[in-house]
Amino acid sequence: MKRALITGVTGQDGMYLAELLNDKGYEVFGLVQGQNNPKKDLLAQTHPYVKILSGNLLDLVSLIRAVSFCRPDEVYNLAAVSFVAYSWENARLTSDVTGGGVLNMLEAVRFHMDKTGEPVKFYQASSSEMFGKVQEVPQRESTLLWPRSPYGVAKVFGHYMTINYRESYGMHASSGILFNHESPRRGPEFVTRKVSMAVARIHKNLQNGLSLGNLDAKRDWGFAGDYVEAMWLMLQQPEADDYVISTGQTHSIRDLLDVAFDEIGVTDWNQMVRLDDQFKRPAEVDLLIGDSSKAREVLGWTPKVTFEELIRMMVRHDIAELER
């Protein structure tokens, strides 16, 4: 039985990945931070097979203890301060957790391997936010990184640190450059879920509109359930490497609104959407579109859920939640 340790196991990706690994027969360990964290109880209910370990990416000793306790074959480092807008207000915390935390996790794994001689494969959750002010369209593994937020800068640090540990110590450390990926489990602060929840409430006459920031930004949105499969595939390769994971399609926030409102039969949403500067960012990433041909060729990975299916799935889920 293979063993896997997931940091960030209570997040959207952590939950999908835990399910995938459990289905594949892994013993799944999840790192959860904080005292009396309510997400821990929730996870224990929905994913009872996950063995929860206490630890924090800022606390190297806690990571060393977690790794030496579960002796994982694979470590998936998904934990991060992940909301881009928040990262301007909490730039130091974001740098420490989202950037420095990767270094701590790599060190914990290296320490364990040195001590025991047991090989551990490492996955780092890198992000399309690293492309920021894009220097090439579409973005691929070789595209120059130009992050536009403290979050993006922190992710660049973690990305290069992962490559550095691979090159310096021969670690099987891979980095997945994942473009935006969403699901009904997405946090309500992210734009797709903010829209799907609002549209569901509008449909049920519980609210009459929503406020958003920049409607012209474009993102390459895929389904999180598809993307965790790519993470696993990366760690099954004989050689570690970096891969862009994306759909190759880009859509604006306006396109997102078109599909979400269409799901409840509304064709003109203009009266229901207010523009509010508080949701605009000090520096915006205008256009993301990924070229995932390397992942398709080497990993045999393809996304299954389309943008339209994804947004409709999220709206339908949020309507069903309200009805429940």
Catalytic residue selected from 16, 26, 74, 129: 129
Respond yes or no: is residue 118 known to be catalytic: no
What residue type is assigned to position 226 of the chain?
A: D
In the complex with ligand F7E, which residue's Cβ is closer, 62 or 249? 249
Q: Shortest gap between Cβ of 169 and ligand F7E (angstroms)?
A: 26
The smaller minimum CB distance to ligand F7E, of residues 19 and 286, is found at 286
Provide the residue type at 262 as one letter. Answer: D
Q: How far is the CB of 116 from ligand F7E (least distance, A)?
A: 33
Has 309 been annotated as catalytic? no
Are residues 273 and 257 in contact, defined by beta-carbon separation less than 8 angstroms? Answer: yes
Which is closer to ligand F7E, CB of 136 or CB of 189? 189
Catalytic position from the list 16, 26, 123, 151:
151
Q: By C-beta, is 113 or 288 nearer to ligand F7E?
A: 288
- Of 32 and 178, the one with the shorter C-beta distance to ligand F7E is 178
- Is the Cβ–Cβ distance between 234 and 166 less than 8 Å? no
What is the amino acid identity at position 171?
M
Q: What is the smallest separation between the CB atom of 252 and ligand F7E, expressed in angstroms?
A: 9
Tell me how far, at minimum, the Cβ of 186 lies from ligand F7E, in Å.
Answer: 8
| Least Cβ distance, residue 146 to ligand F7E (angstroms) | 15
What is the contact surface with ligand F7E in residues (CB under 6 A)? 82, 84-85, 127-129, 179-180, 189-191, 194, 212-214, 217, 219, 253, 279, 281, 284-285
User: Looking at 82, 95, 126, 127, which residue is catalytic?
Assistant: 127
Positions marked catalytic: 127, 129, 151
